[in-house]
């Protein structure tokens, strides 16, 4: 089989590459190879009743399949260069912002219309944060919600399936560089193309490293973010979430001068398990549909760690800590803030009697046995700082789930076209280490599609 372009991975990066290629030149032959299932077949068996914990499916429907890691996500498209990736370093801030707005327009015209766009512009909360040693980062946030996000993905798939060949449940094992193009191997079959766009996201991080080694593409070690997911009654944060939906707040700790930041805020949302290469960590999302909303808000508190010499593998450090929590808790551990500061383990009884009803069934335990002191001290400091702008954050019954780990892929050496040292081989999205968000990953796909078609 021979195609003009083969895209590997059908997360937001791959989808928007395919979308833009089809739009710019309808005559191009394009194939998308995806390790996971098509959208309709994606299903996580955890139902909270019969299956409460991750059963380690062969292909994790939360992370893989059409829509990528973003499919069951909260669908928060942050339009900003302040966080979510460093795409702007390759293509400039103006173009990065334009492309993120372009992606937003496409989402709006494919079922997302009506969802709200929040913005930090002109908010008084900035001042209140600064008065309490907290910094609110600038962003516009389009919140599609998990339900609407799936509608948008469904419409994009219906539009693309006639224009692009999709190969689902077809992990690519190998890429061979030929004199005039590439050979992509999937399920022991060879497919040929002139240009290849690799967009394998976080779930493809190990495979990406292998490919970079095989093809002599240089990589740089990236950071890992470690911390917990906080869950508390939604009313405590409602003045922030009603106005901004998601607030990205940074706190600089007094003790170690580390930056701790809020991440992925889900008003009236649920806390979920995340499975990355068999390691169970915690995440969260929320629905736009009121019927599916809870009385809790959740968000992560994370500290970034970056290693250089002699140990370089930041992800391995994060994995080891997540494995420790999996060893002690059989998965994710949950602890009341009051128990943590008292230095005692939470148990079923104390969690049950608490005023916050957990939305994830996790094992009550002691996070101080898992997270390094420096990280835990920073998180505790930040919870007290947040208590000053959202009174009640530091309540005894506030729940902390651990561990939350944001693995960042090794940064692949790319030029300003997001092209590797092999002409015609592009690496985009989270798999490149350049982006870490829906909007940046999608924008990188549009960018590369335009580069390929010369537009």
Ligand X SMILES: Cc1cc2nc3c(=O)[nH]c(=O)nc-3n(C[C@H](O)[C@H](O)[C@H](O)COP(=O)(O)OP(=O)(O)OC[C@H]3O[C@@H](n4cnc5c(N)ncnc54)[C@H](O)[C@@H]3O)c2cc1C
Instruction: Give the binding-site size for ligand X (rule: CB under 6 A).
Output: 46
Nearest to 441 by CA among 194, 75, 119: 75
List, edge to edge, every strand of the sheet that includes 363-364: 134-136, 249-252, 259-266, 296-305, 224-233, 399-407, 333-336, 363-364
- Closer by beta carbon to ligand X, 11 or else 365: 11
- Residue 126 CB coordination number (10 Å): 17
Q: How far is the CB of 84 from ligand X (least distance, A)?
A: 6
Q: Tell me how far, at minimum, the Cβ of 65 lies from ligand X, in Å.
A: 5
Under rule CB under 6 A, residue 262 binds ligand X: no
The C-alpha atoms of residue 398 and residue 232 are separated, in whole angstroms, by 5
Minimum distance from CB of 145 to ligand X (Å)? 10
Candidate residues 28, 46, 61, 76; the one interacting with ligand X per rule CB under 6 A: 76
The yes or no reply on residue 241 touching ligand X (CB under 6 A) is no
Out of 441, 443, 448, 452, the only residue in the binding site for ligand X (CB under 6 A) is: 441
DSSP 162-176: TTSEEETT--EEEEE
Q: Give the whole-angstrom CA distance, residue 24 versus residue 139.
A: 29
**If you search the block for the tokens 């929040």, which residue do you land on?**
118
Q: How many helices (H) and strands (E) does the chain have?
A: 12, 22
Based on the shown chain and the rule CB under 6 A, indicate whether residue 20 belongs to the binding site for ligand X: no
Query: Nearer Cβ to ligand X, position 76 or 345?
Result: 76
Among 35, 91, 280, 452, binds ligand X (CB under 6 A): 35
Shortest Å distance, C-beta 380 to ligand X: 25
Residues 6+ apart with CB under 8 A from 68: 9, 10, 11, 12, 13, 14, 15, 201, 429, 441
Task: For residue 108, give the DSSP letter.
Answer: I
Please, which of residues 180-199 interact with ligand X by CB under 6 A?
199
One character per residue 141-180, x = contact with ligand X (rule: CB under 6 A): ------------------------------xx--------
For ligand X, give the closer residue by CB, 16 or 317. 16
> Taking the CA of residue 246 as centre, how many other CA atoms within 13 Å lie in the half-sphere pointing to its CB?
31
Question: In this complex, which beta carbon is closest to ligand X, that of residue 285 or of residue 345?
Answer: 285
Instruction: Select from 298, 312, 221, 303 the least CA-distant residue to 267.
Output: 298
Does residue 200 belong to the site contacting ligand X (CB under 6 A)? yes
Least distance from ligand X to the Cβ atom of residue 33, Å: 5
- Sign of the torsion angle spanned by Cα atoms 192, 198, 203, 207: positive
Residues making contact with ligand X (CB under 6 A): 8-14, 33-36, 62-65, 68-70, 73-76, 78, 84, 171-172, 199-204, 207, 264, 272, 274, 283, 285, 429-431, 436-439, 441
């Amino acid at each position: 089989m021979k195609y003009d372009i083969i895209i590997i991975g059908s997360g937001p990066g791959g989808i928007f590459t395919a979308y833009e290629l089809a739009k710019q030149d309808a005559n191009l032959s394009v194939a998308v190879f995806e390790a996971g299932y098509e959208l309709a077949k994606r299903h996580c068996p955890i139902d909270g009743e019969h299956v409460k914990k991750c059963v380690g499916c062969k292909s994790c429907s939360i992370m893989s399949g059409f829509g990528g890691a973003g499919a069951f996500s909260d669908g928060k498209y942050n339009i900003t260069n302040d966080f979510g990736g460093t795409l702007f370093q390759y293509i400039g801030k103006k173009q990065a912002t334009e492309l993120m707005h372009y992606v937003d327009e496409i989402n709006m015209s494919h079922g997302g219309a009506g969802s709200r766009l929040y913005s930090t512009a002109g908010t008084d909360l900035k001042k209140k944060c600064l008065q309490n040693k907290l910094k609110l980062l600038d962003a516009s946030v389009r919140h599609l919600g998990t339900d609407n996000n799936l509608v948008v993905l469904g419409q994009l798939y219906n539009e693309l399936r006639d224009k692009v060949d999709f190969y689902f449940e077809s992990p690519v094992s190998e890429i061979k560089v030929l004199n005039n193009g590439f050979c992509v191997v999937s399920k022991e079959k060879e497919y040929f193309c002139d240009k290849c766009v690799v967009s394998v996201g976080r779930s493809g991080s190990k495979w990406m490293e292998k490919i970079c080694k095989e093809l002599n593409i240089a990589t740089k070690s990236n950071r890992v973010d470690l911390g917990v997911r906080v869950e508390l009654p939604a009313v405590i944060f409602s003045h922030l979430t009603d106005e901004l939906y998601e607030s990205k707040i940074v706190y600089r700790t007094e003790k170690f001068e580390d930056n701790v930041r809020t991440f992925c805020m889900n008003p009236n949302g649920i806390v979920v398990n995340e499975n990355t290469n068999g390691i169970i960590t915690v995440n969260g999302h929320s629905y736009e549909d009121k019927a599916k909303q809870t009385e809790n808000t959740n968000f992560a508190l994370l500290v970034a760690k970056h290693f250089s010499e002699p140990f370089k593998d930041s992800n391995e450090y994060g994995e080891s800590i997540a494995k420790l929590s999996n060893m002690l808790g059989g998965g994710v551990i949950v602890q009341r803030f009051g128990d943590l500061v008292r230095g005692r383990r939470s148990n079923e009884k104390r969690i049950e009697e608490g005023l916050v009803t957990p939305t994830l069934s996790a094992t009550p335990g002691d996070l101080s046995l898992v997270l390094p002191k420096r990280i835990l001290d920073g998180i505790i400091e930040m919870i007290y700082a947040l208590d000053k702008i959202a009174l009640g954050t530091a309540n005894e019954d506030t729940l902390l789930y651990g561990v939350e780990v944001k693995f960042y892929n090794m940064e692949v050496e790319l030029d300003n076209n997001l092209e590797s040292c092999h002409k015609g081989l592009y690496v985009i999205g989270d798999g490149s280490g350049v982006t870490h968000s829906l909007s940046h990953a999608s924008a990188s796909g549009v960018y590369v599609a335009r580069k390929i078609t010369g537009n």
